[in-house]
Amino acid sequence: MAGPSRRHVLVIFLLQVTLNAFATPTLEGPANVKDCARQFTEKCGIEVGNSIFSNGFLSDDCCRDLVKLGKPCHDTFLNTSLAALHPSANKAQTVAKGEKIWTECVAIDNSDKHETKPVKECLEKFPPKCGEEIEKSVYQGTVVTDACCRDLVSWGKSCHDIIAERNHDVRHPSVNKAQALASSEKVWNLCAAISRSPASSPSN
């Protein structure tokens, strides 16, 4: 049986065959549904589903792809997932979460047009995996692996601070900024201590 994250991507492909049962008024017609299924990747389908239903991480790249796909497809994915996978979920809360995700993704997509050179240069240093680990550690209190900690310190404190500011302003504007930056500083200090320690085992 498919796991919770994998089931969300099944919705992308089920859109074509569930139109009659789960169609929404935001769509112009079946051709749009087929385009939704055809143009969205499995990886991003999983990320979007998890971000809405499991508070998972949604990468900048998948946010951009979602915005490119369009709001009608986003609404269809949300409504179809509710009906097919989460019928007992609170619809009002889930729709509100979906709207929040969409708004954040639009902000991320728009920020690309206005990113300063330092921000762009720092973003290029952060591979998606470690960037996700660090961001989740700041906002969810999860652990950063030793390997990503060492990478973070090698990129430098200035880049860490630049990305921390950018992530708050673009991705988490509703979070108290002082608290977010304090959490970011704590992550940096922990990683700096790890980077000064002997190399960890390969399992880390």
Tens digit of each residue's pLDDT (9 = 90 or more) over 71-81: 988 888 888 88
User: Could you state, in order of their start, the residue ranges of all structural domains in the chain?
Assistant: 4-111, 117-196
Q: What pLDDT, on the 0 to 100 scale, is given for residue 33?
A: 59
d(CA 69, CA 80): 16
Kindly tell me if the per-residue pLDDT of 20 is higher than 60.
no
Tens digit of each residue's pLDDT (9 = 90 or more) over 89-139: 888 999 999 999 999 999 888 887 777 888 888 988 888 889 999 999 999
The vertex-104 CA angle with 103 and 105, nearest 5°, equals 90
Q: Tell me, letter by letter, the H, E, C secondary structure of 33-83.
A: HHHHHHHCCHHHHHHHHHHHHCCCCCCHHHHHHHHHHCHHHHHHHHHHHHH
Confidence of residue 34 (pLDDT cuts 50, 70, 90): low
Q: What pLDDT, on the 0 to 100 scale, is given for residue 182?
A: 97
In this structure, what DSSP letter does residue 169 have? I
